[in-house]
Amino acid sequence: MGLFDFLFKWMKKKNKTNEETVKNESPVEETIAPIHEETSTPIEENISLIPQETDIILEEETPVVIEETTAPSINEDGNRFDLEVVEALRRFHSDPSLDIDIEIKDNIQNAHQTHRDLFREWADIQSKWDRISLLYRFWDQSQLEKLEDWQVIERYVKDRYPKKALQYFEKNMSDKRHFTKEELVSLSKLHRVLLDNPTAKEYIETAYHNHPEDDAVKVEYATVLHIIGNHSEKELSHQLFHDVLDKKIQKNDTESVFDCFKFSEGYTDSSIFAMLYLINTEADIDTWDYVAEEYYYCPVFRYEHAVQLAQTENPMRALAKLTSLSQEFPWFRIALESTIGNIKSMRKQLNNPEFMEQELQEFQTSLKKL
């Protein structure tokens, strides 16, 4: 099945599901919409104004769930915990196909019973990546020393600690004269998250020069070229990315193009292309939420997610997302400016000059440091 046949299949299924509300779905365009050049700036630079609300709850990343008549049982939570412990281990090693050895299996069998304190803490966390972060700290105790350098970099980057990853690089890797392809890919991702795209390009260009046929290298190189490349480089970017995406589609292990961006064997790990496909297919918020679980570490993706929320009458979720984004990535100028602007707008709408005063001061201080 070709790429656009695959996209059309998803769009047809989406239209059928929403036929009462979506009558004129735009066809998928074969050219991906560009983002701003020279920076990691998302497509939108201004978040929509947030309308007045009476009941304000700013609990970031509370997932939207279908209301249930009965609460999940302890067994259901326990089974989910056991599965997520294993998922976290595979993510910790950056290996979707990691073969778990017998010793580890014995340690985590019925983990919700053998690690009760960890299970209780996990059960109180609603955000997927906050739960994974907790489990990463659990695996640090026995697995961190077993990781290769590039895996440590990815462990911190994906856990939203790029500054820790940078410190690790400076302490343990900065004297290296030659890097493996995995190290070069991970360092490119690190500098993209830090919004230092020129440095990211230096690393990934070296990787592509030495390993032009490696899929992970091609996806990362395509991502960086799309952000800061010239016209011809952007054309190469799309060609490289679709070469890898077509391979993933041919595996027939996905239901839609968006599954190709989820952590799995041969997945296309690109927050930028994931964002562009969501925009070009006019994906609904549920789909944005689904893909967002994979790219919670990417400030550009999270910003664009907030834009989509604001534009689809989810202003408080948008403000909550902007708030946590600005707290976790205080070097992201556009996020800071948007968050400050929306807090001030909300103050006027609520006639409350003290609304989010502590956060406002925090973000204004961060902005002055840039």
Sequence-distant (≥ 6) Cβ neighbours of residue 260 within 8 angstroms: 245, 248, 249, 254, 267, 268
Quick: pLDDT tens for 53-68: 434 445 455 444 434 4
Q: Could you give the C-alpha distances from 277 to 209, 225, 256, 281, in angstroms and in order?
A: 27, 17, 11, 6
Burial 153-171 (b: 16+ CB within 10 A, else e): bbbbbbbbbbeebbebbee
The single-letter DSSP state of residue 260 is G
pLDDT for residue 259: 96
Which positions of the chain have pLDDT values less than 50?
1-10, 12-13, 15-57, 59, 62-71
CA contacts within 13 A on the Cβ side of 161: 16
- Residues 259 and 248: beta-carbon distance below 8 Å: no
- CA quadruple 279, 281, 287, 290: dihedral positive or negative? negative
pLDDT of residue 18: 44
Three-state SS string over 100-120 comes to CCHHHHHHHCCHHHHCHHHHH
Report d(CA 140, CA 138) in Å as an integer.
Answer: 5
What pLDDT is stored for residue 69 in this prediction?
42
Report whether 360 contacts 340 (CB < 8 A): yes
pLDDT of residue 314: 80
Question: Which pair of structure tokens corresponds to residue 354?
Answer: 């003290």
Spatial CA neighbour of 48 closest among 333, 281, 310, 359: 310
Q: What is the pLDDT of residue 76?
A: 85
